[in-house]
Amino acid sequence: MSNTNPNLPTPAINAATYYDVSTQQLNLFITYPSGFSLWPKGIVVNLITPSSTTPTRVGDGAPIFPANSNTGTLMMPLALTSASQRGQLTVASLDMSWDTGTPSDPWQFPVITSSPFTSPASASFNSLGSVEVTWAWIAGMGATAQQVALIIPGQQPITTIVDSPEVSATFTMAQANNMFSPGQKMTIRCTPISPGLWATPVTTTFSIPQSSQMTPYLIKGSPPISPTSYIP
């Protein structure tokens, strides 16, 4: 049984922390007070839900700290059912004896909604030999950016993050290793981003036109939502 060790430093959950709906993974950014050179063994992660004031332990691990940085990262799985309860997270230091320190201030989970963050995107092949993906932001949904990935079979995905209010992403022939040949098929994946949340991506296929008749291709995928069965 673990005890509380008040001598352990109290970490803080950094504002860069986010939950990824598609992978059901929590990406924690943990910051320790300056002045510490040796961090504890790890951290313990607790979830507090509106239906219960008693914290539930949902994981633990050792954050990875870059050299000369007091902010580390920890990625851990967390089921969508847990993330959708509109609860709060706290973290606490964990020592070699599995004793824990004082919990951090809570981090509020973002609301995971069934409403789309953007309009369906459209893709086109332009006269400069590039693939351009465009969309429109939906007012009031709070999206601050969108990750757009272009995936060609056998190649590493090409990804970019576009900040609002920009509404397009362009992928060049050079980025695609000169594989924008007529008929080449590819996948385009758009993932809206809002504070604390990477929403469900919309994925579709697109082909380079066989002729000079280059018309936009509407992405027919569903809007970026989480399954409604998980919305409390």
Q: CA 219 → CA 25, 59, 121, 157, 196, distances in Å? A: 26, 38, 5, 18, 26
Residue 214 has pLDDT above 60, yes or no: no
Q: What percent of the chain has pLDDT over 70?
A: 88
Q: CA 156 → CA 93, 160, 175, distances in Å? A: 37, 13, 10
Residue 47 has pLDDT above 80, yes or no: yes
pLDDT at 34: 84
Confidence (pTM): 0.84
Tell me the pLDDT tens digit for each residue of 76-87. 999 999 999 999
pLDDT at 3: 78
pLDDT at 224: 45
Average pLDDT, the chain: 88
Tell me the pLDDT tens digit for each residue of 149-192. 999 999 999 999 999 999 999 999 999 999 999 999 999 999 99
Tokens in use for 42?
């790890």
Between residues 89 and 218, which one has the greater pLDDT? 89
Q: What percent of the chain has pLDDT over 90?
A: 72
pLDDT at 232: 36
Residue 225 has pLDDT above 80, yes or no: no
Residue 118 has pLDDT above 50, yes or no: yes
pLDDT at 69: 87
Q: Average of pLDDT values for 9-25? A: 96
Q: Average of pLDDT values for 67-80? A: 93
pLDDT at 40: 83
Tell me the pLDDT tens digit for each residue of 127-146. 899 999 999 999 999 999 99
State the span(s) of the chain assigned CATH 2.60.40.10. 122-230
* Range scoring the smallest mean pLDDT among 12-16, 66-70, 115-119: 66-70
Pick the CATH number of 12-108 from 2.30.30, 1.10.357, 1.10.150, 2.60.40: 2.60.40
Q: Average of pLDDT values for 50-61? A: 91
The separation between the first and the last C-alpha atoms of the chain, rounded to the nearest angstrom, is: 33
Residue 215 has pLDDT above 80, yes or no: no
Between residues 82 and 231, which one has the greater pLDDT? 82
List the CATH code of the domain at 122-230: 2.60.40.10
